Chains A and B, each alone.
Chain A
């Protein structure tokens, strides 16, 4: 299983990493972080330009059980799962991707 987990994590792209990171930061700040916010942040960081891509990144993370998407209608909020936390820890230890600031969570600070 560990081998599968590592394989899954190694397949993650920068956008997946950033979503996991920002979702964790949102939870830390007790802020509700939704797909629209993710799309804005991904667009601003240059990771993607379309909302469909942002949605597909979120769906793949959800399918891997790395995030929990809860809420009704269009107001679906993201929360990092324990698997997602492990995946984030792994990616941070590998320094595979560079952390970028979320404009939603940190504004222009």
Chain B
């Protein structure tokens, strides 16, 4: 079951599972917009949060976690949590969940591990608050949860392609969901098609998903006669953050004809160079015209390094913004007009005719 936290997380969870998900939000209005099997309203004492969502303030999400903590601790077991790292509710509640997992004294059982699918903001286009929230999120809750080993895979989606490709939100969420579902279909295909070599069953797959590393997955047409490394690097999933060197891997090859199955050894050689022994399977999929491969790489690049990247980028853009604001800075002269003095000046300038007064005084006999 998918669990979507916050506006962005709920939408993505809903699209990924055709509405068979649990949506969590602090705003009833936001919840009403999402198709979900179950909707959980988290309570916040802030009227603003309850009525209009938590905006970009993770404190509101963190505060609201208390009202749903026990329920959430149960439903996340063995499931996938979707959240945006920039927004208030997704970031706030997901932070509390990750911190709860990292504080657990007993290790979480493999089948109870939670996968986190997180959507990171695109630095060049999204607001500074989103970036700051993400830096805090990656630096603290994610970092400690990974150190504790109590999470499953962490999938880092990026909004970069959405902005660069000018893709509408719904379509982009659909792309993210399709990409994730292609990865999740690996054991299904292993069961569905004739097996040519290796095997990835549901047990292998669940074990793989339960590992507390970042997961980068990609699916592309594979040419068995070309160098695998070149093909892999050219086909990294542009919806996800780029991976580091893999420490574990999984791949499923789908061949339209059983020929060329032996080429899989070239791929195993590629991973062996990094001391990685992938879990793999090759199936015969007659519906395809060209061979296709779905690869997943688990990498353990410490989030702190990820945070450093975000900080570097954030600093760069902040500097650019400051530079731009300095270039546009216009000194406005403060008005030195003293109203009282100005009135006096006008009084002095106003026309007065002394002769008239003297003429009048003469007329009335006072002069």
Interface residues of A (CB under 8 A from B): 21, 24-25, 27-28, 44-46, 80-82, 84-86, 88-89, 92, 98-101, 103, 106, 109
Q: Give complex CA distance A24, B357 in Å.
A: 7
Q: Is the CB of B354 within 8 A of A106?
A: no
**Number of interface residues, chain B, beta carbon within 8 A:** 17
Q: Given A28-B357, A89-B358, check contact A81 B366 (CB 8 Å).
A: yes
Residue pairs across A and B with Cβ atoms less than 8 A apart, 27 shown, are A21-B357, A24-B357, A24-B360, A28-B357, A44-B344, A45-B347, A46-B340, A46-B344, A80-B366, A81-B366, A82-B365, A82-B366, A84-B366, A85-B358, A85-B366, A86-B367, A88-B357, A89-B358, A92-B354, A92-B358, A100-B347, A100-B348, A101-B348, A101-B350, A101-B352, A103-B347, A109-B350
Q: Which residue of chain B is the closest to A82 with respect to CB atoms?
A: B366
Q: Does B332 contact A (CB under 8 A)?
A: no
Q: Give complex CA distance A45, B340 in Å.
A: 9
Interfacial chain B residues near A45, Cβ < 8 Å: 344, 347
Q: How many A-B residue pairs have CB under 8 A?
A: 53
> In B309-367, which residues have CB < 8 Å from any A CB?
340, 343-344, 347-348, 350, 352, 354, 356-358, 360-361, 364-367
Interfacial chain B residues near A98, Cβ < 8 Å: 348
The distance from the CB of A44 to the nearest CB of chain B, in whole angstroms, is 7
Q: Give complex CA distance A106, B364 in Å.
A: 21
Interface of B is mostly: helix
Q: Give complex CA distance A45, B361 in Å.
A: 24
The distance from the CB of A94 to the nearest CB of chain B, in whole angstroms, is 11
Q: Give complex CA distance A86, B362 in Å.
A: 10
Interfacial chain B residues near A81, Cβ < 8 Å: 366
Q: Is the CB of A24 within 8 A of B347?
A: no
Interface residues of B (CB under 8 A from A): 340, 343-344, 347-348, 350, 352, 354, 356-358, 360-361, 364-367
The 7 residue pairs across chains A and B that have the minimum distance between CB atoms: A85-B366, A85-B361, A99-B352, A28-B360, A101-B347, A101-B350, A82-B366
Q: Is the CB of A44 within 8 A of B358?
A: no
Q: Is the CB of A80 within 8 A of B361?
A: yes
The distance from the CB of A60 to the nearest CB of chain B, in whole angstroms, is 19
The distance from the CB of A107 to the nearest CB of chain B, in whole angstroms, is 11
Q: Which residue of chain B is the closest to A20 with respect to CB atoms?
A: B357
Most chain A CB inside 10 Å of its own CB: which residue of B347, B348, B350, B360: B347
Interfacial chain A residues near B347, Cβ < 8 Å: 44-45, 100-101, 103
The distance from the CB of B290 to the nearest CB of chain A, in whole angstroms, is 89
Interfacial chain B residues near A85, Cβ < 8 Å: 358, 361, 366-367
Interfacial chain B residues near A103, Cβ < 8 Å: 347
The distance from the CB of A20 to the nearest CB of chain B, in whole angstroms, is 9
Q: Give complex CA distance A103, B352 in Å.
A: 12
Assuming A88-B358, A89-B361, A100-B347, what are 12 further A-B pairs, CB within 8 angstroms?
A: A21-B357, A24-B361, A28-B357, A80-B361, A82-B365, A82-B366, A88-B357, A99-B352, A100-B352, A101-B347, A101-B348, A103-B347
Interfacial chain A residues near B352, Cβ < 8 Å: 99-101
Q: Is the CB of A88 within 8 A of B350?
A: no
Interfacial chain B residues near A46, Cβ < 8 Å: 340, 344
Q: Give complex CA distance A88, B367 in Å.
A: 10
Q: Give complex CA distance A86, B364 in Å.
A: 13
